[in-house]
Amino acid sequence: MPSSLPEYTGPVQQAVAEYWNVRATQARKSVEQGALNTGLRSEVTGGRHLDELQTLLVQVFADGGIPPQLMEVKRRPIPGYFRRDKSWDVVVTVESRVVGIIELKSIVGESPGQNFNNRTDEALGQALDVWTAVQRGIIDTPLRPWLGYFMLLEDNKAFNTPVVARQPVWPADPEFDHASYAKRFEVFFDRMVRERLLDAACLVLGSKEDGAVRFPSATLSFQAFAAAIHGRCLQFRATNPDLPWGD
C-alpha cells in the first residue's frame, strides 16, 4: 500500500499529448482512406483517442492499493431507474465487486455551445439514474457505488471567451453571468460533487497548439481526482477483507 499520493502532473500531460496524437493520426488515416468526414469527426471515428487517459486512471487505482492482477477493467452497463442501464467507460471490479465507475469525455473545436448542454445533460442524467436506482433498491450493494467523471476540454479562445447569455424566463443564477464555457463546466462539475451526484470529478483544459495542460480549479484537478480514487481504494480494501489481497 502506498504511504503517499504520487505526483501525476507528468503522466497527465503525457496522456493528453497522446490524445492529440491519436486524433491527428486518425484524421490522417481517414483522409488516406478516402473518407468524407474529414472534420473533427474524422479525428474520433477510429476510437481509442482516450485510451491513454484510461490507462492512467487504471494506474491510479493500482497506486491506490488495488493489485493489477486482481483488477478487471471494462466498459460496462450500470443499471438505472429511469432506463434499464447505461454503459460507463471505466468500471473497475475485483471478483465482481465494483471498486469504481468513471466516465471519460472530451470536447474540442470552435463551437463548444453545440455540445455543452448535451454533455452536462448526459452527465447529470447518468448520475441521477444510478443514485435513484440505489434509493429504490435496484442497485443493492453493501458499499455505496463510487462515481467519477473526467472531462477534457480544448484550451482555446472558444472555450475561454465569456458567453453572451440568452434571456431566460426567470432570472438565472448570477454565477453563470459572463462565464465562458470552460467556467460553466467548472461550476457544473463542482456542484455535481458538492451535491454528491458525483464522488469526484476532473476538469482538464489541454492546448492543441503547444500541448500545455491546466486545471481551472484545484478541487477539480487530476491530483484531487486521484486522491479521491485512492481514498475509495482504501475504503474498498477495508470493507472487503476476505479478498485475496496478498499483503
Pairing of the two strands 97-107 and 85-94: antiparallel
pTM, two decimals, is 0.90
Q: What is the CA radius of gyration of the chain?
A: 19
* CA–CA distance, 31 with 235 (Å, rounded to integer): 48
In a domain, 223, yes or no: yes
pLDDT in tens, 78-120: 999 999 999 999 999 999 999 999 999 999 999 998 899 999 9
Q: How large is the average pLDDT for residues 21-47?
A: 55
In a domain, 35, yes or no: yes
In a domain, 215, yes or no: yes
In a domain, 227, yes or no: yes
In a domain, 244, yes or no: no
Domain that holds residue 67: 9-163+170-239
* CA–CA distance, 79 with 39 (Å, rounded to integer): 35
In a domain, 4, yes or no: no
pLDDT in tens, 148-186: 999 999 999 999 999 988 888 999 999 999 999 999 999
In a domain, 246, yes or no: no
Structural domains in the chain (count): 1
Phi/psi of residue 7, nearest 5 degrees: -90, 120
Nearest CA among 137, 41, 138, 56 for reference residue 104: 56
Q: What is the mean pLDDT of the chain?
A: 90
In a domain, 245, yes or no: no
Percent of the chain at pLDDT > 90 equals: 81
